[in-house]
Chains A and B, each alone.
Chain A
Amino acid sequence: MSKKKKYKYIGKAFTKVDGLSKTTGQTKYADDLVMPRMLYCKLLRSDVPHARIVSIDTSEAEAMDGVIACLTGASMPNTFGILPVSQDEHALCPDKVRFVGDPVAAVAATTEDIAFEALKKIHVEYEPLEPCYDPAKAIKNQTDLIHEYGDDGNVHKRVSMEFGDVDAALDDADEVLDDVVFFQGNTHLPMEQHATLAYPEADGRLTVWSSTQTPHYLHKAMSKVLDMPPSRIRIIACPNGGGFGGKSDPFNHEIAVAKLALNTGRPCKITLTREEVFYCHRGRHPVLMHSRMGLKKDGSITGIHFQSLLDGGAYGSYGVASTYYTGALQTVTYKVPTYRFDGVRTFTNKPPCGPKRGHGTVQPRFAIELQMDKAAEKLGMDPAEFRLMNIQPEESITANWLKIRTIGLRECIEKVVEASGWKERHGKLPRGHGLGLACSSYITGAGLPIYWNSMPHSGVQLKLDRGGGVTAFCGATDIGQGSDTVLAACVAEILGVDIMDVRVCVSDTDLTPVDLGSYSSRVTLMMGNAAIEAAEKAREKLVAAAAEKLEVPPVRLVCADNKVFDSEAPEERWMSFAQAVVYAEAKFGTIGTVGSYKPPRMPGRYRGAGVGPTPTYSYSAAVVELFADEETGAVDVKKIWIAHDIGIAINRALAIGQVEGGVYMGLGEALMEEMVYRDRRNGVHKIPSMLEYKSPTTLEMPEVETMLVEHPDPEGPFGAKEVGQGPLLPVMPAVANAVHDALGVRVDQCPVTPELVLSAVESKNKRSGPKSYPDLKITDTMRIKTPDQGGDGDADEPWRIKRKKKAKAPK
């Protein structure tokens, strides 16, 4: 490693700025908020999977004592949705319901119990429509379409693109692996259930406190549905009790409760039950995948043809992005010279899927890492060696035009191989015991915003107080990941003040500059860079004023330990930080600075190139050790070694916490978590409860040895990359690969349940998983030349994007 800067906070393990308030129970989550005259809201949800609404009669409910208002979808005709291309949701369904749990009416009452009882007095008449639960059926045209829009029938989105000639590459290969793999859907399961409090201000404005990861997008949706200018709406995102992507859509309950507050003139609160959180969902898409990988005898990959069929549920949500993501990041870990991707997302009558930690890249990563393991086996190579020889080079551009900057994958693999004793133990443990390896990569923030614009993705404002305090304003939301602490640390590090002298004021659309939200692992990098810029501007002013007073050149001044001092005579010529603020304010007027961040331009220019790029990718590698019982199929994970290329850890304790959290969540997905429905029982969710939706307890959590690989990335604040999502990805494939090492069977499906392990053990071909991939009739495949073919990042004719020529500014 080259010269490593000395920092006071960065890279250390220090206390979270909100640590005391969280651990002593004083943090106010949305449901903790109470107001005088507050009403309680409940939603009546559809008990049929697919139907037209004939009538809704709320009169009996409205007549109840304590019921103040009822609301139906008729009063909110405007649609909303997170993506501009999928504006397909209503705050309350006006004419049609699309899954059991879709909201049709809302009640505001003086107590929650009265609101609940009132739901029973609302009478809805439905005209049933044929439901569709299966993506394989959804791809055939149906009479009762779930939506009026989409690519065809119940197909929401079709994507097909080819980079280089994949057929030729597979023909040219010595071996072609052909695998069909299924990844079952699962959900976020945050501890905090979603809650929203809406308050109609006396001046006609509306203030909304909500457990949301994306206050800015909620702001836009709220304005659209309520027909109110954004300037009259204030969204405050409360600290989230866990999000994981489950609170990054604007939600129907948030808008409905706001409308009830406006209609009644009283504050109105809704807190979802656990069952309702399952209905909000937006979690992992169930994805059926088909991957063909061409291999040379020397171990190089000639090309990959990857297909994915996504079960999207009832609404668009982030689904178009999710579809692209199932095809985007296969190329950023290993050298894949030619690549083709066909993706199809279908609508079904189930709660909508969306982004969950690792958004859309988790399922294909599972498939690819299983295939890499099989490829190594086929070539007679060690799985770790095989991966090491195929690592994508640093500062390169992939076949699908993704720009790789630093890549610490080699060191990640070497670390977990060394720590786990891989070379001595893989393939050599007694039957039932096994080791499995898998790698992964993830974006550090999406390269593009959700709606097209050329503004910054994150902004930070600083206000310096004469008493020495600093307030940092930013739209970012702390969902438990520690973004408040990162913000304070970046500012404190640059200004040389104690971190507790930095007050953070975040996620308030009236007070803070926009940050797009806590999703896509973007906050540390984008907010961090914005914070550094703002802090450096403030430091410049302080130093200029202090230099004058101390009569030393500004370049000699250092800000540290709450002081500004002459680096050549720190004891003699110095002043306190507060004193410097006073001089600076006298010299420049009120001290306030801003910083903002926008990702660099990406080389890909074809349609769909917006999903996948990022300022820089993080990398992970994990080895799982487990015992698989061949009589019961039960898997007991003994230990996990995981190495993560993080650039640099802003806060070491929080970074390791994120890795361990990712491993824990990954183990749940690997072993037991499943969102499953009863197709023959009206499409109800099988188990919407925390008792029966199985998620690991502390007893299932093995020892985790985390190793951080730190080489500062030029794009990151102080060199930092993401850590919130990436470390989850290798866990599931490493478990499946370890089961193979333990029992010699392949489970090509996630979760790796005891049923599947046992069925693989009992089967002739020692495999369990999906048998075949349907013919999705892909025709119009967009062709794009790879960088190696001399392409320019755009597609060939006729798919080429017509661009207006920009007039160059005269020099």
Chain B
Amino acid sequence: MMRLPTFAYRVPTDVAEAAKIIREENAMIVAGGTDLWPNMKRRQVEPKSVVALRKLDALRGWEWRADGTLRIGPMATLRELERDKRVEEELPALWKAIVSISTPLLRNQGTLGGNLNLDTRCFYLNQNYEWRRAINHCLKCTGHTCWTAPGSTKCWAVNSSDCVPVMIALDATFVLQGADGTREVKAADLYHVDDGRDWLVKAPDEIMTDILIPPQNGHRSTYLKLRKRDSFDFPVLGVAARVKGNGSVEAADIILNAVGPAPVRCSEAEKALIGYELKAETIEEARALATRAAKPLDNTDHMPSYRKKMIRVYVKRALEELAN
């Protein structure tokens, strides 16, 4: 890995100014830097200008509103959030996702907003410049072929965020502020483009200013993560699950991540749960349906066939956990 290339480092003090600079200078955003800086060192991206969010105080902190909604500023560090007892108790899926990210040291630096805007990852992409030259580069970075699926016209880089599937399962809403104004977007709608080059449905100058998690009245949630080591590693399968109802299931969310460019909602599996108790047969049916929803390819750690098999195991274990 090389050192950082030369670039202009901008540190605006209000969001509108930040959005303006991004639009004018075609700048990229840096929060904690644990994703962007290594990508720049590998020359995956070479922005001429980078806008740092560190002086935007409005983007820090989090509070529980009277109606039970949790509002998180995207610049809250992962470590700060994991230390919050109420987050741990009321939003176990989010807490589990956060504590599974990388290492404690990197969570001191990394932010929740950064994780939700994490660039997609791929074994053909997250390599240094010389390596990528040896395969004549890839679709996401100056090349013409997706080496993960050479016949494909889309990029198969993987959404490797732990928090993204959780936000979708918890029905979170994000507030985005851009040069043209402010809007709200449902978590599920921010990630619905299934292409690793263009994985966020937002304009480059739109900055995430608020993460709003509604009260989880009666919902139970969890998050399970497949990876080789219990630290450092990105997920190669993430399962966020949420159910409502004691006895028979009234509502269910099963979201997979890190199996493709976009998170995957297992709608068929969810339907199979509604109206039934979380018993062995129900779970068996749901996990079989969930497995059909994703098609992992060979561009992360672990064999793709293994990752697909593990969907069965991880969905089962998540639902069993919620049954108890």
Q: Which residues of B contact A758 (CB under 8 A)?
A: 306, 309
Say yes or no: is B130 at the interface (Cβ < 8 Å to chain A): yes
Per the 8 Å Cβ criterion, residues 73-100 of A in contact with B are 100
Say yes or no: is B131 at the interface (Cβ < 8 Å to chain A): yes
Say yes or no: is B189 at the interface (Cβ < 8 Å to chain A): no
Q: In the complex where A47-B133, A631-B313, A754-B306 touch, is A699 in contact with B301 (Cβ < 8 A)? A: no
Q: In the complex where A116-B2, A699-B231, A754-B306 touch, is A681 in contact with B147 (Cβ < 8 A)? A: yes
Interchain nearest-CB distance for A270 vs B (Å): 14
Say yes or no: is A632 at the interface (Cβ < 8 Å to chain B): yes
Say yes or no: is A1 at the interface (Cβ < 8 Å to chain B): no
Bound together, the chains give a CA A696 to CA B313 distance in angstroms of 24
Q: Which residues of B contact A119 (CB under 8 A)?
A: 130
Our pick among B3, B131, B134, B232 for the contact of A691 (Cβ within 8 Å) is B232
Q: In the complex where A684-B134, A699-B231 touch, is A275 in contact with B1 (Cβ < 8 A)? A: yes
Say yes or no: is B302 at the interface (Cβ < 8 Å to chain A): yes
Are B229 and A47 touching (Cβ within 8 A)?
A: no
Bound together, the chains give a CA A691 to CA B39 distance in angstroms of 13
Interchain nearest-CB distance for B4 vs A (Å): 9
Interchain nearest-CB distance for A533 vs B (Å): 48
Bound together, the chains give a CA A112 to CA B147 distance in angstroms of 31
Interchain nearest-CB distance for B33 vs A (Å): 16
Bound together, the chains give a CA A116 to CA B2 distance in angstroms of 8
Per the 8 Å Cβ criterion, residues 30-52 of A in contact with B are 45, 47-48
Q: Which residues of B contact A692 (CB under 8 A)?
A: 123, 126, 301
Are A632 and B1 touching (Cβ within 8 A)?
A: no
Say yes or no: is A27 at the interface (Cβ < 8 Å to chain B): no
Our pick among A45, A47, A100, A694 for the contact of B228 (Cβ within 8 Å) is A694
Say yes or no: is A125 at the interface (Cβ < 8 Å to chain B): no
Say yes or no: is A686 at the interface (Cβ < 8 Å to chain B): yes
Bound together, the chains give a CA A338 to CA B52 distance in angstroms of 71
Q: In the complex where A113-B3, A275-B1 touch, is A632 in contact with B310 (Cβ < 8 A)? A: yes
Closest to A44 in B: B130
Are A694 and B1 touching (Cβ within 8 A)?
A: no
Are B134 and A275 touching (Cβ within 8 A)?
A: no
Our pick among A47, A273, A696, A699 for the contact of B134 (Cβ within 8 Å) is A47
Closest to A671 in B: B228
Say yes or no: is B109 at the interface (Cβ < 8 Å to chain A): no
Q: In the complex where A275-B128, A758-B306 touch, is A694 in contact with B229 (Cβ < 8 A)? A: yes
Per the 8 Å Cβ criterion, residues 90-139 of B in contact with A are 123-124, 126-128, 130-131, 133-135
Closest to A672 in B: B228
Are A700 and B230 touching (Cβ within 8 A)?
A: yes
Our pick among A112, A633, A672, A688 for the contact of B127 (Cβ within 8 Å) is A688
Are A273 and B128 touching (Cβ within 8 A)?
A: yes
Interchain nearest-CB distance for B94 vs A (Å): 22
Are A632 and B313 touching (Cβ within 8 A)?
A: yes
Q: Mark B273-313, 1 if CB is under 8 A from A, else 0.
A: 00000000000000000000000000001110010011001
Per the 8 Å Cβ criterion, residues 1-37 of B in contact with A are 1-3
**Residue among B123, B130, B301, B306 with the highest chain A CB neighbour number at 10 A:** B130
Say yes or no: is A687 at the interface (Cβ < 8 Å to chain B): yes
Closest to B306 in A: A755
Say yes or no: is A471 at the interface (Cβ < 8 Å to chain B): no
Say yes or no: is A110 at the interface (Cβ < 8 Å to chain B): no
Are A755 and B127 touching (Cβ within 8 A)?
A: no
Q: Which residues of A contact B310 (CB under 8 A)?
A: 632
Q: Which residues of A contact B229 (CB under 8 A)?
A: 672, 694, 696-697, 699-700
Are B302 and A273 touching (Cβ within 8 A)?
A: no
Per the 8 Å Cβ criterion, residues 158-193 of B in contact with A are none
Q: Which residues of A contact B306 (CB under 8 A)?
A: 633, 754-755, 758
Closest to A693 in B: B301
Say yes or no: is A512 at the interface (Cβ < 8 Å to chain B): no
Interface of A is mostly: loop
Our pick among B3, B130, B233, B309 for the contact of A47 (Cβ within 8 Å) is B130
Closest to B229 in A: A697
Say yes or no: is A562 at the interface (Cβ < 8 Å to chain B): no
Interchain nearest-CB distance for A666 vs B (Å): 16
Q: What total of A-B pairs shows CB separation below 8 Å?
A: 73
Bound together, the chains give a CA A92 to CA B310 distance in angstroms of 46
Bound together, the chains give a CA A754 to CA B302 distance in angstroms of 9
Q: Mark B65-76, 1 if CB is under 8 A from A, else 0.
A: 000000000000
Closest to A113 in B: B3
Our pick among A45, A273, A682, A687 for the contact of B135 (Cβ within 8 Å) is A682
Bound together, the chains give a CA A672 to CA B302 distance in angstroms of 10
Say yes or no: is A503 at the interface (Cβ < 8 Å to chain B): no
Say yes or no: is A405 at the interface (Cβ < 8 Å to chain B): no
**Residue among B126, B128, B134, B232 with the highest chain A CB neighbour number at 10 A:** B134
Are B232 and A48 touching (Cβ within 8 A)?
A: no
Bound together, the chains give a CA A658 to CA B233 distance in angstroms of 27
Per the 8 Å Cβ criterion, residues 186-241 of B in contact with A are 226, 228-233
Q: Which residues of B contact A696 (CB under 8 A)?
A: 229
Q: Which residues of A contact B230 (CB under 8 A)?
A: 697, 699-700
Bound together, the chains give a CA A688 to CA B306 distance in angstroms of 22
Say yes or no: is A598 at the interface (Cβ < 8 Å to chain B): no
Q: Mark A95-116, 1 if CB is under 8 A from B, else 0.
A: 0000010000000000011001
Bound together, the chains give a CA A15 to CA B320 distance in angstroms of 52
Q: In the complex where A273-B2, A686-B123, A691-B232 touch, is A100 in contact with B134 (Cβ < 8 A)? A: yes
Q: Which residues of A contact B231 (CB under 8 A)?
A: 697, 699
Interchain nearest-CB distance for A344 vs B (Å): 29
Interchain nearest-CB distance for B287 vs A (Å): 11
Bound together, the chains give a CA A302 to CA B107 distance in angstroms of 59
Bound together, the chains give a CA A743 to CA B229 distance in angstroms of 22
Interchain nearest-CB distance for B149 vs A (Å): 13
Are B302 and A755 touching (Cβ within 8 A)?
A: yes
Q: Which residues of A contact B232 (CB under 8 A)?
A: 691, 697
Bound together, the chains give a CA A689 to CA B302 distance in angstroms of 16
Bound together, the chains give a CA A685 to CA B131 distance in angstroms of 8
**Residue among A116, A692, A696, A699 with the highest chain B CB neighbour number at 10 A:** A692
Say yes or no: is A274 at the interface (Cβ < 8 Å to chain B): yes
Are A688 and B131 touching (Cβ within 8 A)?
A: yes
Bound together, the chains give a CA A696 to CA B229 distance in angstroms of 7
Bound together, the chains give a CA A631 to CA B316 distance in angstroms of 11
Closest to B133 in A: A47
Interchain nearest-CB distance for A751 vs B (Å): 10
Are B123 and A687 touching (Cβ within 8 A)?
A: yes
Bound together, the chains give a CA A278 to CA B147 distance in angstroms of 22
Bound together, the chains give a CA A694 to CA B226 distance in angstroms of 14
Interchain nearest-CB distance for A105 vs B (Å): 13
Bound together, the chains give a CA A687 to CA B234 distance in angstroms of 14
Are B147 and A275 touching (Cβ within 8 A)?
A: no
Are A48 and B127 touching (Cβ within 8 A)?
A: no
Q: Which residues of A contact B134 (CB under 8 A)?
A: 47-48, 100, 682, 684
Bound together, the chains give a CA A754 to CA B301 distance in angstroms of 12
Q: Which residues of B contact A47 (CB under 8 A)?
A: 130, 133-134
Bound together, the chains give a CA A310 to CA B306 distance in angstroms of 28
Q: Which residues of B contact A688 (CB under 8 A)?
A: 127, 131
Bound together, the chains give a CA A604 to CA B127 distance in angstroms of 49
Q: Which residues of B contact A48 (CB under 8 A)?
A: 134
Are A273 and B1 touching (Cβ within 8 A)?
A: yes
- 16 residue pairs bridging A and B, Cβ less than 8 Å apart: A47-B133, A47-B134, A273-B2, A275-B131, A632-B226, A682-B135, A687-B123, A689-B1, A691-B232, A692-B123, A692-B301, A694-B233, A694-B301, A697-B231, A754-B302, A754-B306
The 3 A-B pairs at the shortest CB distance, nearest first, are namely: A47-B134, A699-B230, A755-B306
B-side interface residues toward A, CB under 8 Å?
A: 1-3, 123-124, 126-128, 130-131, 133-135, 147, 226, 228-233, 301-303, 306, 309-310, 313
Given contacts A687-B301, A694-B233, A697-B229, 7 further A-B contacts (CB under 8 A): A112-B3, A116-B2, A678-B135, A681-B147, A682-B135, A688-B131, A689-B127
A-side interface residues toward B, CB under 8 Å?
A: 45, 47-48, 100, 112-113, 116, 119, 273-275, 631-633, 672, 678, 681-682, 684-689, 691-692, 694, 696-697, 699-700, 754-755, 758
